[in-house]
Structure 1
């Protein structure tokens, strides 16, 4: 593909949602100067603070063809992480598009079947930009789950298989100052659920700054990307799963 045509394609994708590509380039250029990956994630994610929450922004399902969606004007908790991680890995808008494919889809294949629908999908493929550090933290519990199996004869996502997966999480009652000290800014956090067939019900980013520790996420409660006191959040959920950039 010729470079000029590729650039036009990229611009058309962004313009579809009215996104300022100059702003995108500025974000990438500034983040590239931040050598610490966690701090880079903190900076990139801060750019999206107060962006409105909206679920189901991705197209495609078992009956409809999947297309690559880049909507930086509104997002849910999972697409928020998609965009932040793809931007972390990028040195240009071209890189961002390619990295988003790799972050959101297995082998970068833009299909509904290949989409990483579940949080732990991020660490189940062969080429991952993050790793699961939950087993390294104190107090973890490992359970066997059949991801996507809602009941004996029904899946959460129809026409997609279920997958047996061993999942380690830190129960909220085991979360203490020792665990908190081991978390790093930029860690990706999944809110563990004991619902059959699901790994998490919410995702966000751990942020530590002069104000304390926070979960930064696209929140359906507050209807925007916002920061929430981390310990208070963990105390109100079943537990957490922690992924960290490599």
Structure 2
């Protein structure tokens, strides 16, 4: 996957790796509530846009359908991890599209529930569950207010401290995404308790590859990224679980835990992300893999999958808290 194309689109945060060669594409689970998620056709993309918003009618239909499905199954009453895993399964078959956040113009909140990458998949599943628990089905009665509420949930997830203040405020590095949410009380990093070890390699991929990011042509943005990298490096070693140790602790990882596959690329922290899901007694990955594929449940158990990918060497694991 380490092509110029993938670098330009995603390597700093959404470096969603290609699925292992030959992996099957599982079907959506029965009664999953999945709906068609066609890729946007440039010739018709504007035809279903809701005027004055960043939404399309198709995105609104996905939100409404998913919230009603989740409410009907009581996902607002179960642990957050369980809800994330169950609602995440309904996206199996949805289109993987890289670079959906790299929209033209100034940084703005991108709404796209039809096309997902490995990070926006997690963000939208979590945001949908937050909407379910705070607004619920009754909140759908006022579509404009519902869209505004969903935007607030997604903004709180995607941007540092929930504040959209230009390109550097987006949580580009996924280890930054994780630690920022831990600092805010939204999740708990549990890698250390699983036997994780320290990785002191500096994070600097974005600042050392500025040509891969059009926004970094702005010297102020590039400086802000350098400062954030320095902050992350100053926090000390990141704790990760090496690939050979994953299988032994599968039972301690719960469905709905967030999985970040660590990268072997210099300066890059995370290569891929997904949601933990046990299948037939083994830990698998519910995720959105690289171009040409769909959201899927990995055919191989997570430990075996990572062993077969040279660009990954372990995982970080996070558990969402009940409050958010």
Q: TM-score, normalised by structure 2?
A: 0.64
> Is the counterpart of residue 38 in structure 1 residue 109 in structure 2?
no
Aligned with 1:203: secondary structure? strand
User: RMSD over aligned Cα, in angstroms?
Assistant: 2.6
How many pairs were matched up? 233
> Structure 2 stretches of 5 or more lacking a match?
1-49, 136-145, 217-221
> Is the counterpart of residue 121 in structure 1 residue 162 in structure 2?
no
Q: Which residue of 2 aligns with 1:25?
A: 67
Q: Which residue of 1 aligns with 2:97?
A: 54
Q: Which residue of 2 aligns with 1:83?
A: 124
1:127 deviates by 1.4
Which structure is richer in relative contact order (CA contacts within 8 A, separation 6 or more)? 2
Q: Which residue of 1 aligns with 2:163?
A: 109
Distance 2:296 2:52 in 1: 28
Q: 1:13–1:26: structure 2 CA closer, same or farther, 3 Å change rule?
A: farther
> Is the counterpart of residue 241 in structure 1 residue 316 in structure 2?
yes
Distance 1:96 1:82 in 2: 11
Distance 1:154 1:51 in 2: 31
CA contact (8 A) 1:122 1:130 kept: no
Single out whichever of 86-95 and 42-51 deviates more from structure 2.
86-95
Aligned with 1:49: secondary structure? coil
Aligned with 2:71: secondary structure? helix
Distance 1:108 1:150 in 2: 22
Aligned with 1:89: secondary structure? helix
Q: Which residue of 1 aligns with 2:240?
A: 169
1:175 deviates by 2.4
Distance 2:241 2:58 in 1: 38
1:221 deviates by 6.2
Aligned with 2:65: secondary structure? helix
Aligned with 2:54: secondary structure? helix
Larger relative strand fraction: 1
Q: 1:10–1:206: structure 2 CA closer, same or farther, 3 Å change rule?
A: farther
**Given the alignment, which residue of 130, 133, 143 partners 2:187?**
130
After superposition, give the CA deviation of every residue in 1:122-158 in whole Å (9 maximum; x if it has no partner): 23333141221111112x220213323468x655753
